[in-house]
Chains A and B, each alone.
Chain A
Amino acid sequence: MTFEPKIVGFLCNWCSYTGADLAGTSRIHYAANVRIIRVMCSARIDPTFVLKALHDGADGVLICGCHPGDCHYSEGNYKMMRRYPLLKALLADYGIEKDRVRLEWVSASEGQRFADIVNDMTERVRALGPSSIKTALATDMAER
């Protein structure tokens, strides 16, 4: 059986979720590997969510918010913009491959862009193979 990556997508309600919706209503075909979780704003995406998704077995995490300047709450996406580089540094220190977590800005009119991002990310994560985090932690607890 071929490996199908499980990717958790955190999408902001106002731009990116609507963009993903547009991809659907426009009947754009794209990889079915992203499980979308709608949040009110990309600022709501606590880094804990990303780590928890990886801990629980996600192979990748996609974060999407409004383009800078377009946030429904004026400043929310900037908070995500600031967290992201530090989160990437933390993930690198924990030895997580960089392609497993990705931040993209997707507007409500960018259905095609959302589909392209999902397709590209799915292929990158597929190339990395399944995430070993969940099984590695279970093995740590089982044998010493």
Chain B
Amino acid sequence: MADKKLQIAIYWGAACGGCDVSILDTNEFILDVDALCDVRLWPLAADGKYKDVEAMADGELDVTIMHGAVRNSENEHMAKLLRQKSKIFVAYGSCAYMGGIPGLANLVPREEIFARAYLDNPSIEPGNRTVPLSETTVNGHDLEIPKFYDRVYKLDQVVDVDYYVPGCPPQPDQCKAAILALVGALTGTAEAPPKGAVVGAFDRALCDDCQRTKTEKKIKRFYRPWQIMQDPDTCLMEQGILCAGSATRSGCGVRCPNSGIPCRGCYGPAPNVLDQGAKLLSAVSSIIDSKDPQEIDQILEGLPDFTSFANRYGVPASLLQRSHRQ
């Protein structure tokens, strides 16, 4: 192992913090991380200020692990700053990789989001019209908060990303594998993955690793998981339970389907899939057991919000990226 500790930063954009927890969920391995690395910035778990990062030389950080999407100007500023200071920049988790849950907001105009959050929400005191502005003046002082963008960006739409670690959140074992791969690459003990690689996941679809029995699929109606007594050994799609496994990359250990819960697609598109939602759409609708357009429409009523399901973790990563309503 190298004499000098690796310099790392862990930072978040538009995220829930679950990715930070997934890193901590590696349990005692985090002590090895601490032994190998100096954590220069990690808002959730360690000290470190933005100005400390600004004071660093370019490339001073060996690795930045950034999770979360880019929703506002602060996210973008820090992503760019950390990119500049880092040798390796990792997009960690579904939000950084594809836009994630925050990315669903791309289907709704910004104005509607503000109205819902600050004006029309039932929990808001009647008559309270307080809405955040990016710039305001209070007692003669100009105050600024980050600018809320019109849409959500995945990380590589804003900065150059070297590696991706998918998952919502990435599974601790995969997190560990990804960190060890980076450490190996930086210390010269292992070959670096090619730039742009998805690390901490496999090059196959989730169905390839799912142990449920799969035969020819034909379904007459869709069920929500709670609407049906599930056969634990049969493919969920064959039982009419919408499952994103066929369009999703494996790497999670098939945790959800193994627990009787359909895959939601958090590991992102399977290898060579350009648009996860479109691929899932193709797979799901093709197995409807009907040749009658009216009956097909009726069966499809069992999928009330398919767009959000199919692109749950990746509207910004889909081909259309956002709503184009004029």
A binds B: yes
Partner of B157, one of A47, A48, A81, A141: A141
B291 and A94 within 8 A (CB): no
A82 and B290 within 8 A (CB): yes
A64 at the interface (CB under 8 A from B): no
A24 at the interface (CB under 8 A from B): no
User: In the bound complex, what is the Cα–Cα distance between A43 and B277 (angstroms)?
Assistant: 17
User: In the bound complex, what is the Cα–Cα distance between A141 and B157 (angstroms)?
Assistant: 7
B282 and A46 within 8 A (CB): yes
B324 and A94 within 8 A (CB): yes
The number of chain A residues with a CB under 8 A from chain B is: 31
**Smallest Cβ-Cβ distance to A129: which chain B residue:** B326
Residue-wise interface mask of A (48-66) relative to B, using a CB-CB cutoff of 8 A (1 in contact, 0 not):
1011101100000000000
Chain A residues near B234 (CB-CB < 8 A): none
Which residues B273-326 have CB closer than 8 A to chain A? 273-275, 277-279, 281-282, 284-286, 288, 290-291, 293, 296-297, 300, 303, 306-308, 310, 318-326
B310 and A85 within 8 A (CB): no
A-B contact count (CB 8 A): 100
Chain B residues near A50 (CB-CB < 8 A): 278
Partner of B282, one of A78, A83, A96, A132: A83
A72 at the interface (CB under 8 A from B): no
**Smallest Cβ-Cβ distance to A76: which chain B residue:** B286
B306 and A89 within 8 A (CB): yes
- Name A's B-contacting residues (CB within 8 A): 43, 46-48, 50-52, 54-55, 68, 78-79, 81-83, 85-87, 89-90, 93-96, 132-133, 136-137, 140-141, 144
